[in-house]
Amino acid sequence: MKKYLYFDKLKCSACGACALACMDQNDIDTEAGQQPFRHTFTLEDKAGSLSFYSVSCMHCADAPCVIGCPCGCLTKDAETGFTLYNTSNCIGCHSCAMACPYGIPSFGEDGKMKKCDACIERQKAGMLPACIKVCPTGALTLLTEEEFVKRQEKERAKKAEEMLREYSKTDYR
Amino acid sequence: MTDLDRKIKAKIPGPDTGIEIRHTLCDICSPGMHCGINAYIRDGKVIKIEGTDGHPSNDGKLCTKGLSNRQYIYRKDRVKTPLLRTGPRGEGKFEPISWEDAYTKIAENLNQAKERYGAESVVFYSGYSKWYRQMLRRFAYAFGSPNYGCESSACYTAAFMAWKTAAGDQGGPDMDHSDLFLGWAFNPFYSSYRGAEYAMKRKEEGLKFLIVDTRKTPASEKLADLFLQPRSGTDGALAHAIANVLIKNGWIDLPYIRKYVYGFDEYAEYVSHFHENNIEEITGVPYHKVAAAAKLIHDNPRMSCNESSAPLCHHRNGFQNYRAVMALLAITGNFDRKGGQFLTPHSYMHVPCGFKTREEEYQYETCPKHAKLPVGAERFPLWQYLEGEMQAMDLSRQILEKKPYPIKAVFALGFNARMFPDSGKMLHALTELDFFVDTDLFLTDTARYADLVLPACSSFERGEFKPYPGGLAWYTSPVMEPLGESKSDVQILTELANYMDLPDEQLKEGYESFIQKYILDDYNIRTEKLKEASLPVKIAEVSPPADYASLDNGLLTPTGKFELKSKIIEDHPEWGLDALPTYLSPLDDADREAYPFTLTSGSRIPNALHSRIHAVPNNRSLRPYPTADMNRTDCERLAVTEGDDIIISTLRGSITVKVHPTSTVPEKLVNLYHGYTEADVNSLMDADHLDPYSGFPAYRSTRCAVTRRA
């Protein structure tokens, strides 16, 4: 079944719990400067409005990293749709990182690529990805295709409503 | 890599991987939370943690602070054996000694102080956490000292005192049934995090939010229908101005007030002095927003309000400010009714369990009758009247001045001198003691000043009784062996009480006996049975509160009513305190030209809790440097940009930190998180800038200067 890591910006406060869960799950050695596979940050615009984000691999449908890798390390999982990898043949050429529009792939001390694999082993065992399991406000969820489509429809309807409201407020005379 | 290797790497529990999930609780933050944790154990070691599904506090989730637990347990500076100081105080030179030798030294030194100077010369102090505090208090009393005290001298108690003064006991919001939520200093996204998800859900259901905060926060951004941003510590004036509009417009519940409220007329006269012509000058909030807040309250009659353990009270006028905010509930008839605030008595260690316990009986039945007054009693008479324990904010002064009597020894569990305003003064005071024992998981900055350091274990390494709201309770079991020779706090207290042969058989029977006899016997439950539960279970039925039931029965206040004017204070004119919730400017008397900024500290950041997880590598990696928030305009004037170093100074000294320019804080405010060894904000605070009602320190409003580091 196809699955989605879904991020709801409105519920996120960039608290970092997801990033810590990722570190704990993957034994990220932060003291040695290693970074988790998920990051949170807060953006403040000029007017002082705050936006909160949690970002990891987007698991793009048409993933540029898969095409960019000369060694065939990266694959799209036929079942779930996540972008998975086996770095046995990785030559550390960074092509995947250059292909990725989000700069997601990183490289370990062994020179090989690593990134979020949506905790695929946990999912296989019937468990949620670590970041989703922990998210205190429900900003991160794991959705099925059906739930994802419904969610997108809801978002679109909400956006249309907001635009309509803005439009009705504007005086075009 | 084989399938099994992959599963082990992914930490999948099962007989094949040898990974087992055991249940424990997170003891990083306050007893109001204590979330359930699934500890993934392999070869006796915790290799991963996550939230426990079905746990009443967190239902599978965890916050940024709770996620520190695994690295917290294994922090490099864990103390593994009792340590005896071999170098000067503070240097950190120790040698391991046996528990037997440690107990001998403690007994000798505490008894010597008692013989020479009296039992009151020995102070028994608890920092964070709180789970063993009943026993520590009883230990102090068995020793004969009135001087039990704790970090609650700077956290929560002032709010509790405000509630006791006005309504006789603690109140809590019935947010399920409110039309409007008054979130005053309310940011559940960074503290008590489960409240954030709930608040967002209630907002979707139509609950309105009036958010009041000096800083813009995720709560003001995501929840507020109206957001008021008063200057730090001016909350009381703002509440009075809102009350004044409500009263002038007749938007109050007069029949309710006549029946249930004491002191309304004088209160109404007093708040009439906060109005259109002065409120913006006092608080920075324009009058039209004050009027809009009153209108919002009028349009949404059922209003509840958050409890604020610290932010509202951390000012020299904090207790009065808190009362001023609470008054809004009373004049709108929202105290003791559905959708407003009901009494939620804390019946076991700051938890509103919903069932009665005999915790107080255990704590106070052996209180020495003819002992001297505890530290701080003379200086803070209302605190002494309501709390009857040491107000620890007066401890450094009494150690140094020896008045009204000398303090010669301190026996502590988790003493953190950096928690005290003017922490340097407290550290200096510790060097003046004849004997100082500290018990901690870590060799902290304060433990380095101790003559003896005792190793405590974490919540993962011990079992404890833990109740939750709604009549729930469980008794955890250790999920791993204690590291080194560390022991649980209650084991240490029990062993020491027996070693010293204190005259208190109940104390010497230990913690489980206390829980059995004073809590569980009343519900016909055996501790052994409770230990078998893998999640908190219902041990008592809880009935929902009925409208006006507490008021009709009479509150535990002297008048039996909700007191806008405190009868307790009114009856003690010698205290020199005001019975009405009068407003006073929060700032100290430092020269405003030389110290033009206001320093505020203590407001939560997601990845830390006080000082305890600053040294946890993963948490620290989210925000590696002590960083002060300052308004962008101020930053432009100082010519500093993101990450530049600034120097913050007061009369006590100065610290250097990085700066984060932002418009979340108003101009002239400097907001810095606390507990950093390398930039201890409390070293800048004034030990005497305290609230005369509660003794609470003014962490959130101290004049300071800021310069760019050259």
- Is A93 a residue whose pLDDT tops 80? yes
Same domain, B263 and B332: yes
Q: How far apart are CA B399 and CA B390, in angstroms?
A: 13
Same domain, B179 and B292: yes
Same domain, B368 and B513: yes
Average pLDDT score over residue span B276-286 = 98
Same domain, B283 and B183: yes
Range list of H helices, B118-253: 133-143, 157-167, 194-204, 218-223, 235-248
Same domain, B322 and B359: no
Q: Is the Cβ–Cβ distance between B341 and B303 less than 8 Å? A: no
Domain end call among B518, B535, B552: B535
Q: Does the beta carbon of B2 lie under 8 angstroms from any beta carbon of chain A?
A: no
- Are A30 and B617 an interchain contact pair (Cβ–Cβ within 8 Å)? yes
Domain end call among B338, B357, B373: B338
The pLDDT tens digits of the residues spanning B346-402 come to: 999 999 999 999 999 999 999 999 999 999 999 999 999 999 999 999 999 999 999
pLDDT class for B697, splitting at 50, 70, 90? Answer: very high
Average pLDDT score over residue span B333-357 = 96
Neighbouring C-alpha atoms within 13 Å toward the C-beta of B269: 5
Domain end call among B307, B338, B369: B338
In a domain, B163, yes or no: no
User: Taking CA atoms, what residue in A is nearest to B7?
Assistant: A121
Q: What would the two tokens of residue A155 be?
A: 């978002």
In a domain, B276, yes or no: yes
Which pLDDT does position A167 carry in this prediction? 80
What is this model's ipTM? 0.96
CATH code of the domain containing B293: 3.40.228.10
Percent of chain B at pLDDT above 70? Answer: 100
Gyration radius of chain A over CA positions: 18
Q: Interior CA angle at A163 toward A157 and A166, to 5°?
A: 145
Please choose, from the candidates A57, A81, A55, A42, the residue with its C-alpha nearest in 3D space to the C-alpha of residue A140.
A55
Same domain, B529 and B395: yes
The pLDDT tens digits of the residues spanning A103-162 come to: 999 999 899 999 999 999 999 999 999 999 999 999 999 999 999 999 999 989 988 988
Q: Which residues contact B574 (CB under 8 A, 6 or more apart)?
A: B381
In a domain, B288, yes or no: yes
**Least CB-CB distance to A24: which of B10, B12, B70?**
B70
Q: Which residues contact B328 (CB under 8 A, 6 or more apart)?
A: B182, B239, B242, B243, B246, B297, B303, B305, B334
Please, which residues 214-243 of chain B have a Cβ atom closer than 8 Å to chain A? 216, 218, 221-222
Same domain, B106 and B181: no
CATH code of the domain containing B666: 2.40.40.20
Same domain, B521 and B645: no
Q: Is the Cβ–Cβ distance between B79 and B96 less than 8 Å? A: no
Paired residues of B456 in beta bridges: B487
Q: How far apart are CA B166 and CA B162, in angstroms?
A: 6
**Least CB-CB distance to A134: which of B50, B200, B617?**
B50
- Is A1 a residue whose pLDDT tops 90? no
Within 8 A of B617 by CB-CB distance, chain A residues are 30-31
In a domain, B648, yes or no: yes
Neighbouring C-alpha atoms within 13 Å toward the C-beta of B58: 26
Q: How far apart are CA A10 and CA B185, in angstroms?
A: 21
Domain span at residue B505?
83-156+349-463+486-535
CATH code of the domain containing B390: 3.40.50.740
* Residue of B64, B191, B665 to mutate for A, most A C-beta atoms under 10 A: B64
Same domain, B517 and B627: no
In 3-state terms, what secondary structure has residue B391? coil
In a domain, B583, yes or no: no
Q: Average pLDDT of chain B?
A: 97
In a domain, B592, yes or no: no
Q: Is the Cβ–Cβ distance between B154 and B392 less than 8 Å? A: yes
Same domain, B87 and B141: yes
Torsion angle of the four alpha carbons B412, B417, B421, B425, in this order, in degrees rounded to the nearest 10 = 110
Which pLDDT does position B1 carry in this prediction? 84
**Least CB-CB distance to A133: which of B10, B60, B662?**
B60
Same domain, B333 and B353: no
Which pLDDT does position A169 carry in this prediction? 74
Number of domains in chain B: 3
Q: Does the beta carbon of B12 lie under 8 angstroms from any beta carbon of chain A?
A: yes
- Is A173 a residue whose pLDDT tops 90? no
Which pLDDT does position B318 carry in this prediction? 98
Torsion angle of the four alpha carbons B203, B208, B214, B215, in this order, in degrees rounded to the nearest 10 = 30
In chain A, what are the domains? 1-57+123-173 (3.30.70.20), 59-115 (3.30.70.20)
- Is B281 a residue whose pLDDT tops 70? yes
Rounded to a whole number of angstroms, the distance from the CA of B60 to the nearest CA of chain A is 7
Q: Does the beta carbon of A119 lie under 8 angstroms from any beta carbon of chain B?
A: yes
Please, which residues 329-358 of chain B have a Cβ atom closer than 8 Å to chain A? none
In 3-state terms, what secondary structure has residue B351? strand
Q: How far apart are CA A129 and CA B443, in angstroms?
A: 36
In a domain, B685, yes or no: yes
pLDDT class for A172, splitting at 50, 70, 90? Answer: low
Q: Interior CA angle at B319 toward B314 and B322, to 5°?
A: 95
Which pLDDT does position A170 carry in this prediction? 67
In a domain, B453, yes or no: yes
Please state, in angstroms and as integers, the Cα–Cα distance from residue B540 to each residue in A99, B266, B467, following that order: 60, 43, 11
The pLDDT tens digits of the residues spanning B120-153 come to: 999 999 999 899 999 999 999 999 999 999 999 9
Q: Is the Cβ–Cβ distance between B300 and B179 less than 8 Å? A: yes
Same domain, B193 and B146: no
Choice between B177 and B128, residue whose per-residue pLDDT is larger: B177
Please choose, from the candidates B442, B468, B504, B531, the residue with its C-alpha nearest in 3D space to the C-alpha of residue B134.
B504
The pLDDT tens digits of the residues spanning A53-85 come to: 999 999 999 999 999 999 999 999 999 999 999
How many CB atoms within 10 Å of residue A171? 5
Please choose, from the candidates B553, B470, B558, the residue with its C-alpha nearest in 3D space to the C-alpha of residue B164.
B558
Which pLDDT does position B459 carry in this prediction? 98
**Least CB-CB distance to B663: which of A17, A48, A52?**
A48
- Is B491 a residue whose pLDDT tops 70? yes
Residue whose tokens read 């859900």: B201
The pLDDT tens digits of the residues spanning B223-275 come to: 999 999 999 999 999 999 999 999 999 999 999 999 999 999 999 999 999 99
Rounded to a whole number of angstroms, the distance from the CA of A73 to the nearest CA of chain B is 15
